[in-house]
């Protein structure tokens, strides 16, 4: 058996071949002719939080309460201002914000000064990006941490801490309209996702993005840690179905090879209620099809 067989490519084309050796080869070397001085293109890597991937794999699904910026502005009284499920594109925006925040942030805050530029990178329009940012900022993120505490008797005691925060703090900075003052908005109840009715006709100056402390701990290699990936992550994710994205992010948050019981997988993907309605055989077929 021949290991690391080099795939044929056009003469002189540089390829980046990753196998157990991790070597770089040129196609000309493969074809048996003189090597040509061609630059090796290697992907730029960034980190993705494992806990964020687990969260998105659990909660991604159809958001029946999501409204659009193209609808007439109105106060959505009947909508829960905090999200219990996350649409796939909202989660992918979260993945992308994690990358942008790592590349450039000041005092822990990444500032978007051009919504169109960010939207184009994700193959969407600015209006949709606004929607996803509002919903992403409306999701409450449960955080569980443990630490050691030394008791008065000198013994070590493990302490469990639980709290709830936003997975991202999203701050919209818009330009005040003529005759508007801060007092114009102080009594509004537009919080969380209800803010969508307010944001539609605002001239956005900048959007400030701040991942929560637990997510930042992951990126520093603490808690659940992180994985390294490239921009291909976003291109691939945008072409997936909801179920395929759930499996993609769940597998990315675990070891390269992992055995898991079906019941545990259903629980990890947030499919318990769906399984009660449709049954395990149908859910299993859906998972395999994805």
Q: Residue 54 has what DSSP assignment?
A: H
Residue spans per domain, the chain? 1-42, 46-241
CA–CA gap between residue 60 and residue 278 (Å, rounded): 18
Classified as helix, coil or strand, 86 is strand
Q: What pTM was computed for the model?
A: 0.72
Helix (H) or strand (E) holding 171: strand 168-174
Q: Can you give the pLDDT of all 290 residues of the chain as single tens digits?
A: 444 444 444 444 333 333 334 444 343 344 444 555 666 677 789 999 998 999 899 888 865 544 443 343 343 444 444 455 788 999 999 999 999 999 999 999 999 999 999 999 999 999 889 888 988 887 776 777 788 898 888 889 999 988 888 889 999 898 888 888 877 766 555 544 455 656 766 788 999 999 988 899 999 999 889 999 999 999 999 999 999 999 999 998 988 777 889 999 999 998 998 999 999 999 999 999 98
Cα dihedral 136, 223, 264, 85, rounded to 10, equals -10
CB 11 within 8 A of CB 32: no
The CA-based angle 283-288-290, given to 5 degrees, is 95
DSSP state of 94: H
What letter would DSSP give residue 81? S
The per-residue pLDDT for 61 is 80
Both tokens assigned to 144: 């569980």
Angle at the Cα of 39 from the Cα atoms of 37 and 41, rounded to 5 degrees: 155
Going 194 to 197 to 200 to 203, the CA torsion angle's sign is negative
Is the Cβ–Cβ distance between 187 and 60 less than 8 Å? no
């Amino acid at each position: 058996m021949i290991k690391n067989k080099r795939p044929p490519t056009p003469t002189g084309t540089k390829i980046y071949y990753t196998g157990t050796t991790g070597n770089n080869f040129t196609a000309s070397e493969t074809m048996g002719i003189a090597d040509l001085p061609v630059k090796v293109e290697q992907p730029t890597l960034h980190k993705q939080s494992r806990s964020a991937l687990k969260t998105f794999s659990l909660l991604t699904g159809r958001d029946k309460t999501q409204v659009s910026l193209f609808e007439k502005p109105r106060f959505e009284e009947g909508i829960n201002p905090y999200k219990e499920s996350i649409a796939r594109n909202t989660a992918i925006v979260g993945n992308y914000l994690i990358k942008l925040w790592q590349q450039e942030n000041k005092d822990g805050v990444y500032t978007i000064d051009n919504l169109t530029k960010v939207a184009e990178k994700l193959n969407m329009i600015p209006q949709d990006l606004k929607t996803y940012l509002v919903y992403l900022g409306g999701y409450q993120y449960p955080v569980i941490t443990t630490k050691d505490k030394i008791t008065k008797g000198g013994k070590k005691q493990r302490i469990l801490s639980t709290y709830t925060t936003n997975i991202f703090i999203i701050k919209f900075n818009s330009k005040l309209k003529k005759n508007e003052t801060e007092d114009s908005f102080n009594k509004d109840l537009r919080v969380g996702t209800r803010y969508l009715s307010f944001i539609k006709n605002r001239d956005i100056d900048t959007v400030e993005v701040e991942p929560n402390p637990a997510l930042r701990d992951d990126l520093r290699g603490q808690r659940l840690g992180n994985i390294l990936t490239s921009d291909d992550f976003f291109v691939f994710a945008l072409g997936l179905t909801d179920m395929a994205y759930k499996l993609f992010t769940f597998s990315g948050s675990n070891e390269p090879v992992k055995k898991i019981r079906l019941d545990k997988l259903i629980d990890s993907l947030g499919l318990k209620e769906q399984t009660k309605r449709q049954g395990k055989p149908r859910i299993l077929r859906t998972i395999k099809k994805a």
